[in-house]
Structure 1
Amino acid sequence: MSRLDFIRNEGKKYHDYCYDQYTLFEAGSWLYKPVQTVMETLKKLKENRNPNVLDLGSGVGRNSIPIAQQLSKQNGQVICVDFLDSALEKLSHYSVKYDVKEMITPIKSDIAQYDITPNEFDYIVAVSSLEHVDSERSLDRVLSNMANGTKIGGINCMIINSDVKEIDLKTNRDRDALMEVNVPTKRMIEKLNHHYQNWNMIKHVIKPLEYEIVRNNRPVLLKTNANTYVVQKV
C-alpha cells in the first residue's frame, strides 16, 4: 500500500466512525454546528437570486445543509462533492430530514478530479478538505479551478491546515503526520495569495489548534495551523 493509500484509508476509517457515532447538529463532536465564518460570509450574498454554491469536501452536510436552509428563499442550489460513500449517504438522509433535498446535489468525486465550470458559482466553500488532495500540484490546480469557477462578485471561503504535526501521547514522540498535503504555513499563505492576488480580501486568520484523535487505538495529539482565507472576486 502506498503512503497516499494508507493516509486515505486512515482518513476513511476516522470519518466513517464519526459519521456513524455522531448525529449531525448534535452536541459532542465537530458536526455540532456549521463553521461560523462560512455562515457569516454567506450573508454577503443575501441579495443574489438563484445563487449557486459549491461545497468541496462537504461530508454529511455540516455546512451545506445550513447554507441551503439560508438560501431557500433565494432559490439557491448547493453542489456537494465528497468521495466517501458514508458521507454522501448521510448527506442524502439529512437533506430530507432538514427539508432541503431539492436544493442539494450530492456528487461522488475526489475534489481534485471534480470539473469546476468557469464562472459558475457565487460561493465556493472548502473546509478542511483542500489539504486532502493527492499532491501539492493538485492543490494548485484545484485553487486555480476554484478561482476560475467563481463569478464576478463571488466568494471563496477556505479553511486549510498547514504545519500539521502528530504526537503519540503514550510515548510523547512525533509521528508521521497523516496529511496528504502538509506544507509550512508561510508557503501555504504564499500559494493562496498567488492564486487570489487580484481578489478582495475579506478575512485571513491563522489559528494554531491542537486536539486529541485516535490512530489505531492509540491516543494522538494533532497540532496544526488552521488558515481561514476568505476572498471576493472583482
Structure 2
Amino acid sequence: MLNRVEQIRADEKRYHDFIYEHHVLFEEGSWLHKPVSMIQGTLPSLLDIPNVRVLDLGCGVGRNSIPIASEIQKNHGKVVCVDLLDSALTKLERYSQTYGIEHAIQPVKSDIAAYSFPENHFQWIVAISALEHVSSVQALTGVLEKMKRATKEGGVHSLIVNSNVEERCVETNQRIEASIEVNLPTKNMENLLNKTYRNWNVLTQTVKPLSFNILREQKEVRLTTNAITLVVKNERPQGDGWHE
C-alpha cells in the first residue's frame, strides 16, 4: 500500500501525464498555453548578462523554460530544468528541439529536495506551483535555504506557491483529500516565506484565490487555492517589504 506522499505523487503523475499527452505546449486549451505573466517582468533584466544561468524547478514540458531559453540563448545563457516525471522531460527535450534551443536547455530528472544545488551559481530561480510538492514542511524549508545559497548576489527568485488547497468532487460536492504534499494555511505559508527571505528585497508579493476543475481518476474535481506570488532579489531590502 502506498503511503500518503507516494499516493499524492501517483495522483499528480496521472494528472500531468494526461495533460502532457492531450495538450500541446503554447496551444490554447490548458494552462500550457503561455508562461506565467511574472516571467516577462524579470526576463528583460537578464538579457545583457553573459552566460546567465537560470534554474526552473518543476519545469514540466517547458512552459516557462522554453520562452526563457529562447531569449537568454542569444548571450549564451542556459536553463537547468528539474522535474521528476519522465513524461515531462521527454516532452521538454522534444519541444526544445522544435524551437531550436536544445543547446540552452539542460534537463535534470530529480525530486526537487534531492537536487544538488550548486552554490552561488544561478542568477534566476523559478518555481511555479512546485515547492509545495516536496515531502514535508521541513523539506520545504531546506529547499528554500539551498535555493538561497545557489543564488548569486543580485539574483532573483520568482515563486508561485499554493496554500490552503481544497479539492471537492464536482458531482457530489464532497470534499476529498487534496493531492498536495505541503498544504499549509495561507498565513502559515506567508510566514514561512517571510522568515526565509527576511534579508532579501521583496519586489512583488500577492495572494490570489484561484479555482479550476481537474481530473482525478476520471472524476471531475474542483480545486481551490490561495496562490502566493513572490518575487525577491538577493540584495538589501528596500521599503517595508514583508513584516514578521
* TM-score bucket of the superposed structures, by smaller chain: over 0.9
CA contact (8 A) 2:210 2:225 kept: yes
Counterpart of 1:81 in structure 2 is 82
Correspondence list, 1:101-140, <5 A: 101-140=102-141
SS of equivalent residue, structure 1 residue 210: strand
% of aligned pairs identical?
49
Correspondence list, 1:67-78, <5 A: 67-78=68-79
Counterpart of 1:155 in structure 2 is 156
How many angstroms does 1:135 deviate by?
Answer: 0.8
Which aligned segments of 4 or more residues in structure 1 are displaced greater than 6 angstroms? none
Counterpart of 2:15 in structure 1 is 14
How many angstroms does 1:70 deviate by?
Answer: 1.2
SS of equivalent residue, structure 1 residue 157: strand
Alpha-carbon distance in 1 for matches of 2:21, 2:218: 17
TM-score by length of 2: 0.94
How many angstroms does 1:217 deviate by?
Answer: 1.8
Counterpart of 2:204 in structure 1 is 203
Counterpart of 1:35 in structure 2 is 36
SS of equivalent residue, structure 1 residue 28: coil
The AA in structure 1 aligned to 2:146 is N
Counterpart of 2:91 in structure 1 is 90
Alpha-carbon distance in 2 for matches of 1:71, 1:159: 22
Q: What is the root-mean-square deviation of aligned Cα atoms in Å?
A: 0.8
Correspondence list, 1:185-196, <5 A: 185-196=186-197
SS of equivalent residue, structure 1 residue 209: strand
The AA in structure 2 aligned to 1:12 is K
CA contact (8 A) 2:160 2:229 kept: yes
Alpha-carbon distance in 2 for matches of 1:65, 1:172: 38
What are the superposed Cα offsets for residues 21-51 of structure 1, whole Å, 9 maximum, x if unpaired? 0011111111011111022212222331210
Alpha-carbon distance in 2 for matches of 1:188, 1:198: 17
Alpha-carbon distance in 2 for matches of 1:103, 1:72: 6
How many angstroms does 1:146 deviate by?
Answer: 0.6
Which structure 2 residue ranges, 5 or more long, are not aligned?
A: 236-244
Counterpart of 1:165 in structure 2 is 166
Which structure 1 residue ranges, 5 or more long, are not aligned?
A: none
How many angstroms does 1:200 deviate by?
Answer: 0.8
How many angstroms does 1:167 deviate by?
Answer: 1.1
Alpha-carbon distance in 2 for matches of 1:195, 1:47: 29
Alpha-carbon distance in 2 for matches of 1:93, 1:199: 37
SS of equivalent residue, structure 2 residue 190: helix
Counterpart of 2:224 in structure 1 is 223
CA contact (8 A) 2:46 2:72 kept: no
